[in-house]
Every structure is written in C-alpha cells, then in structure tokens.
Amino acid sequence: MEHSVSPSTNPSKQVETGGDWQRLAPISILYFTVGNIKQFAQFLIYVIPALAISSNIFEMHNASYLIAIGTGILATVSFSGLISYFFYLFRIHQQHVEVKSGVLHRRHINLPFWRIQNVKIEQPFYYRPFNFALVVLDTAGSSEEEAKIVAVPLPYALMIRKQVLADNAEAKQEESNAAETIRTRDDSDEQIVNRRSIHDLIVHGITNNRVWILLGAAAPLYDSAATIIYNWLESKGLKLEQLFGEETATWWQLGLYTLTALLIILAVLASLSIGGAVLTFYGFTLSRDKRRYIRRSGLLSKQEVSMKMSRIQLVTAQQDWLDKLLGRVNLYFEQNTSGTQPQTELMSPNKLLIPSVTVDEVHTLVNGPLPHSGIYTVSYQGVSKQFLSYWLGIWVWPIGVLLTGITTYLQLWNEVGVLVIAIVFITMFTLLRWWRWGYATDERYVYVRSGRMGLDFQCLEKYKVQQVSVVQSVFMKRKRVASVKIILASGSVTIPFMFESDAWKLANDLLYAAESSKKSWM
Amino acid sequence: MEMDNFSNLPVRPSELPDVREVAMTPVSPRYRIANLASVVSVFIILCLALTIAHLQPWVMLPQQLHKLFPYAVAVLALIATLLFSYHWFADPLVRYAIRQQDLILQKGLIFRTITCQPILRVQHIEIKRGPLDRLAGLAKLQVFSAGGSAYTFEIPGLSVERAVQLRQFILDHKDLDAR
C-alpha cells in the first residue's frame, strides 16, 4: 500500500483510509494479469479455430515471426496488469467504500457500509505466501454494484469485514434500542460449529456431481487429454477403429467393450467429482460469531464467506437418492437473491452450502439460525389426493391414452412400447412426488417436505414472508383444496393442493406474523 | 423500547384477520373495454396487412402463400376470439382490496389467484402508464418487494386518481419497508 493504513486507537477508524485515494499492494498486478490472461484465453477459444484454418492455408505455423507475435501478445497481456494496477484507486472514508477502476471504461463505485450485505474474503493461491487477500463487497441490489478491493493485507481485510458487519449491526441496534451499546469487536466470539473431513468431501464428491469444477478449469487441456486417453485405451487393448470401423467383433464382444468403457468413464467421472469437491471444500469450517456465520474452505484458493444470521430466509436440507442411501444431507442457508445474478451454488454468497453433513448434525445446525425448529421431528401433513387426480387425471393419462391410441392405430408398435413405459414411469414419479409432499407449521415456523426419489426439507420463519398467494382453480374449489405460494426474499416456496381451510389458515397466519411483528426480513 | 404504543394481547387463531372476508373492489370497467378494443384492433390491423399482401399487384408472391391466405385469417380469427372471450370473462374478475396492513389482488378465470402484499415488506412503488393505458385514462400500480421482479404485485386498470391515492396511502404507511 502506498500510504500504509495507520492504526488508530478508535476501532471504527481503523479501516478508514482518510480522504486520500489509495493504491493497492503491488501484488495486485499479478491478480490483474491473471484476470486479463483468463479473459484473453476465453477470447482465444473462439479465435483458435479461425487461426488454425488460416494457418493451414498460409502455412504460417513454421514462420518464425509467429514466436515474435506470441511474445508480443504475452508482453501486452502482462503489461495490461500493470496498467490496470495504476488505474485502480480506492478509499474507505466516512463509512463509505469507494473504488475507481477501469482503463477505457472508467467506473466509480461508492458503497456506504450500511448497504453492504456480504463481505467475502478470497485468497487466490499466489496471495497466500504473502498473506494478502481480495475483499468482495456485495449489496442487496444489482450485481453491478459489487465492489472488489483487489489486494490488501489479510489482517486489514478481516478488519474491513468486521467493521462493515459490526456497523450494520450497530445501526440496526441503535434504531431499536438506543441505550444498549455493543462491545463485541474481538474475534474471541467466533466458534467453529462444523468441520468437514476429507472423508466427508469424498462422500460429497460421489453423491453430488462436482465434475464441472475440474472440467471447467481444465478446458484448455482437453485436446491433449483426449489423445492421452485414446492412447491409454489402445494400450489396454481397446482399439476404437477396430471396434467401429470393421465388423470383426461379435455382439457380445461389443457389449463387453461398451460395458468396460462405461465403467471406466464412470470411475473417471467419480474421481473427477471427488477432486472437484476436495478442491472447493478442503478444510471446510463453518464458524459462528454472535450474529453471523463464516464459511472458510478451499485447497488452492481459499474462500471466506460470511452471512449475517438474521438475513437467512430459508434453510433447505436436501437429500438426493444417493445421499439418502448414505445418510447424508446437503444443508443450504439461503438469503436474499433478488437483484443479483444467479451464481453457481458453491461460490454463491447468497446460498451457504454445508456439504454432506450427517442426518444427526442437521438438527444442531438448523437450530443455529432457526432456534427451536423441528425440521425432522414435526409431523407432516400430506397434500391432498387431488394432486394426483389433477396431474394424472387431467394431463398425463388423457394425453398418454391419446398418443397410445394414435400410435396403435398407425401400428407403430415400438413407439407404443416406449409410450407405455414412459407413462408408467411418469405415473410412478407423480405418485412419489405426491407421497413426499407435505407441510407442517408450529408457532414460529413453516416446514415443507418434498422430493421424488430424494427427500428435501425446507424451513422458514413465518414473519420473513414477502408476499403470499393462494391459487385455486374451479376444479380445486369444488374439491375444497388450494395451493399456497409463499414468496421470500430468497425465492418462493410452494405447497400444492392443501386442504382449503389449511391453506387459508396458513396464509392468514403468515400475514399476521409479518404484519404484527413489524420485524425486518433482513 | 418505547412502551407507549406497545400492546401484546393474545390472539386466538379463529380471530385472525381473514383475507377471504374482505370486500373486494373491481378495477375500472374501462380496463376490460381497453383490452377488448386492443384485441379487436390488433386483429383488424393484422388482417388488413394480410389482405394487402394478398391483393397487392407490385410484388409477386409464390402461389402457395396465396393459398394459405384464408387459413391464416382463420387462425388469426380463432386466436382473436379466444383472447376476446378470455378478456370478456376474466377482466371483471380482477379485483383488489386494501387493508390497514396489506394490499390484496384477486385475478384469474380458471386458476383464481389471491395475492396479498404486506405493506411493511414494500420496497418501492411505481405507477406505470403505457400508451394504451394513457389512451384509456388508466394506470397500473406496481408494488415491489424483496421477493424479486417475478413477484411484483401489480394492480392493473386503475383510474389515474385512484392509482395516485393508493400510492400515497402506501407511502404514508408508517411500516413501509420496515428495517
């Protein structure tokens, strides 16, 4: 930092840089360069085919000036990092974070502390030896308003986070209770509530497809990887040309080959997925401060996401069929998602994932943000059988019968077979869906159970509701059932085909909880 | 904590205010007229365009396209009839109500939806007037919550004065966007 941040005795002033604009630590040049190279590589992916064709035409590939061009491009890209560095300025002044950045497209972001919803601290692997960090400040508004302080010393980053979050809490607290002051500024309050071992992460890799993490990162290497795999298969006696090119193999040989190939592919995918899980979640800890959760994880690049507890809108415990078999649950704490771009669930600061916890752990974890809730202990009321008569009786069966009739009339027996199998499967899944779907309420919470093969539980606090809809068709009215849609800041939760009286009771109850409590949803 | 306005009397579930018991006000009858008129005029404009294309002598069109002309008109007429009858029956069913703490909107012909928006969750309000609305002297009231743009609470077909009144009522509400 050009002007080093001078620690003062007043804690609230510690992160303030004063009115002067600050430059980042020089290591940020590396970050900018990496970013620019990444962008350039993405651009190249589209350009390479064109280049390849033209190089064939003009036989440029052995021209010596190509090396010069390559070096030139590389130099420009690295130099661009330096330029970005000189064009980036920031200051934290009077409870505002301000960032000026961009070379051609200049941006000036001004974020008051109280608008900041999330503070995310990231450590790319090349920052770690020097103990630097990247601070990402999110607002509840659009993703355009995201500010990044690219390179500051880690202790300073932590201080920013503490200051911003404490400030938020303080502002709220002062509104509701002026007399009380907060004296919780030291890290000693932080307690680790959950850790994930390598064993857990391997289970997570198997049960959840995390292949894309590695596939995405390895995109530039695909071609050589394909060659290696091809050679390897060949060395194992699987000659692809022989298989498909000549008609020497009998059907059982072909079948065996396919099976072997499938098994190999599955094994490769599973190990890739495990690798992905370990890469993102290595050393996973979930800690709890007084009012917030902090998630830390990552093998190469460390990530730190913190989420204020009061901002959690919905807790989801998700179990796919494989999770169910192994007794594991993916637990999500979801907060405000409106206005932000949808992000991949693993990195998203809006959806905090605790990967593959055991069923026993779920209860303790859920009771953190939602005390005295009974996600697995309440008794769920199933939805009405009208759910089946609607989906099967109005949609699946009539359409199925019609299509089967047509194909039978046309004597397309193969198609008839496929149709019948499809109808049977859809019917089975609808039955499962009806059987799983259920709801329960108590004094404070609403619980929803759903799923087909898997089993998902959702729990929300009544007063956090943003809007409630009750939907009833003419047919449903006659049968005295109705669907309820609960809109939260994190999305919507639907309970279909409830008994009419229950639906209205729930809707009225939710509205009363929100309107009488007068509590903020944030 | 201020104790002056604080009360905490027990509430029995049977005494909870019920959304169903509120008298609902229909939106302006001009809303249906405007919708019906726009369906008819769009149909007429499209038919005219087709007819001109069919009869004009300047550009030669393939013979097959000319053969399709009656079918195209028939399909247009079918869609227009469906839309017309939908608006005819569905528009009078759009009703709204205002309570001390929330706004209620009822709509839908086959699937009847009743949506309730608590005022303390409102983030901002807009009055929208498209060209058709302005022609008919109508306005839409859009109420935004943190639930996201997909769940914007919108009362269509209000008279301008009524829309302004409603907006003022919401803006004056003391719990607006509670923090």
- Could you give the 3-state DSSP secondary structure of residue A440? strand
A330 and A270 part of one domain: no
> Cα–Cα distances in Å, from A351 out to A320, A334, A345, A375?
18, 4, 6, 19
CB contact under 8 A, A508 and B19: yes
Which positions of chain A have pLDDT values less than 50? 1-11, 173-187
| B68 Cα to chain A: minimum distance (Å) | 27
Residue A295 lies in a domain: no
Residue B19 lies in a domain: no
CB contact under 8 A, A470 and B153: no
- Chain B residues in contact with A511 by the CB 8 A cut-off are 17, 19, 101-102, 116, 118
Residue B37 lies in a domain: yes
Among B90, B110, B126, identify where a domain stops: B90
| Distance of alpha carbon A222 from alpha carbon A247, whole angstroms | 30
A22 and A66 part of one domain: yes
Condensed to tens digits (0 to 9), the pLDDT of residues B37-47 reads 999 999 999 99
- Could you give the 3-state DSSP secondary structure of residue A100? strand
Residue whose tokens read 């509104």: A175
Residue B20 lies in a domain: no
Residue B85 lies in a domain: yes
User: What chain B residue is nearest to A172 in terms of C-alpha separation?
Assistant: B179
Contacts of A197 (CB under 8 A, 6+ apart): none
What pLDDT does A289 receive?
A: 83
Partner residue opposite B175 with nearest CB, options A470, A477, A518? A518
User: What chain A residue is nearest to B8 in terms of C-alpha separation?
Assistant: A516
A325 and A406 part of one domain: no
B99 and B168 part of one domain: yes
Among A261, A281, A301, identify where a domain stops: A281
- Chain A residues in contact with B149 by the CB 8 A cut-off are 338
B130 and B84 part of one domain: no
Partner residue opposite B115 with nearest CB, options A469, A472, A521? A469
How long a stretch of residues is chain A? 522
Domain limits at B77?
30-90
ipTM of the complex: 0.86
B63 and B100 part of one domain: no
Residue B104 lies in a domain: yes
What pLDDT does B59 receive?
A: 82
> Cα–Cα distances in Å, from B164 out to A138, B92, B177?
34, 22, 19
- Strand A467-473 relative to strand B111-118: parallel, antiparallel, unpaired? antiparallel
Domains of chain A: total: 4
B117 and B163 part of one domain: yes
Amino acid at A438: G
| Distance of alpha carbon A324 from alpha carbon A331, whole angstroms | 13
What pLDDT does A218 receive?
A: 60
Domain limits at A425?
389-430
A28 and A112 part of one domain: yes
CA proximity to A313, closest of A441, A442, A458, A461: A461
B46 and B105 part of one domain: no
A446 and A425 part of one domain: no
Among A142, A160, A191, identify where a domain stops: A191
A513 and A417 part of one domain: no
Residue A327 lies in a domain: yes
Residue A149 lies in a domain: yes
B55 and B117 part of one domain: no
B82 and B114 part of one domain: no
CB contact under 8 A, B16 and A472: no
For chain B, the first-to-last Cα distance in angstroms comes to 15
Residue A301 lies in a domain: no
How many other CB atoms sit within 10 Å of the CB of residue B20?
11
| Distance of alpha carbon B55 from alpha carbon B73, whole angstroms | 14
Residue A53 lies in a domain: yes
A47 and A179 part of one domain: yes
Which H helix or E strand runs over A51? helix A28-58
CB contact under 8 A, B151 and A487: yes
What pLDDT does A4 receive?
A: 41
What pLDDT does B153 receive?
A: 92
A218 and A266 part of one domain: yes
A83 and A209 part of one domain: no
Residue A334 lies in a domain: yes
Residue A426 lies in a domain: yes
> Cα–Cα distances in Å, from A210 out to A218, A275, A292, A366?
14, 8, 27, 24
A394 and A351 part of one domain: no
- Chain B residues in contact with A338 by the CB 8 A cut-off are 146-149
Domains of chain B: total: 2
A41 and A148 part of one domain: yes
Residue B178 has pLDDT above 80, yes or no: no
Residue B39 lies in a domain: yes
Among B68, B90, B112, identify where a domain stops: B90
| Distance of alpha carbon A92 from alpha carbon A24, whole angstroms | 13
Among B73, B90, B107, identify where a domain stops: B90
| Distance of alpha carbon B166 from alpha carbon B177, whole angstroms | 16
Query: When comparing pLDDT for A311 and B117, which is higher?
Result: B117
Residue A298 lies in a domain: no
- Could you give the 3-state DSSP secondary structure of residue A197? coil
| Distance of alpha carbon A499 from alpha carbon A470, whole angstroms | 12
What pLDDT does A185 receive?
A: 41
B81 and B114 part of one domain: no
B119 and B157 part of one domain: yes
Burial of A397 (0-12, 13-18, 19+ CB in 10 A): middle
- Chain B residues in contact with A140 by the CB 8 A cut-off are 146
Q: Read off the CATH number of the domain in which B119 is found.
A: 2.30.29
Residue B168 lies in a domain: yes
A396 and A271 part of one domain: no
B100 and B157 part of one domain: yes
A439 phi and psi angles, rounded to 5 deg: -145, 160
**How much is the CA Rg of chain A, to the nearest whole Å?**
28
Residue B76 lies in a domain: yes
B69 and B123 part of one domain: no
B40 and B107 part of one domain: no
